[in-house]
Amino acid sequence: MTEKNLAEHAISVRSRRNLMEAMRGEAFAFAKYKLFARQARNNGDNELADMFDKTADQEYMEHFVEQADLLQLVGTDEQDVTNAIAGESFEVDTLYKRFAEEAHEDGDEQVAHRFEEIRRDEAFHQLAFHEALIKIQTRQRIMRGATGRSAKAHDF
């Protein structure tokens, strides 16, 4: 969701910030419980595994989704892809870059290596979303050309 959309939205800045923080917690709980479920299943405790899986689903499908609705996190495909590019770009250019440098400074080479490797994956995500955005925008131009007037060279 863009800053402009946020500004037009009736929810206070603090509530939006709290929603974002809560969603990060829910997303983390989801991922963590999925790992715990896998561990419990590997150990043969299916009852505990099911409990973790069921709880994980609620953290995501209910708590995260309900809060995402309030924030109007999901927009048009074009907005969603733009949002994704911003997130991936932040990871590539700022977050994982700094984290890798700091881990290296602290002598945590394994951690630094992992951050660098993940950063490269994020760069691929960033590129793939850029390509998706170009496809969406090109399709929109073609659609506009087909419904309105005939497409001209300068539309592309």
The residue ranges that bind Fe ion (CB under 5 A) are 59, 63, 122, 125
- Cβ nearer to Fe ion, comparing 133 with 151: 133
Distance in Å, CB of 8 to Fe ion, minimum:
28
- Cβ nearer to Fe ion, comparing 113 with 144: 113
Distance in Å, CB of 22 to Fe ion, minimum:
8
Distance in Å, CB of 91 to Fe ion, minimum:
6
- Cβ nearer to Fe ion, comparing 54 with 139: 54
- Cβ nearer to Fe ion, comparing 48 with 95: 95
HEC readout, the chain: CCHHHHHHCCCCHHHHHHHHHHHHHHHHHHHHHHHHHHHHHHCCCHHHHHHHHHHHHHHHHHHHHHHHHHHCCCCCHHHHHHHHHHHHHHHHHHHHHHHHHHHHHCCCHHHHHHHHHHHHHHHHHHHHHHHHHHHHHHHHHHHHHHHCCCCCHHHC
Distance in Å, CB of 36 to Fe ion, minimum:
15
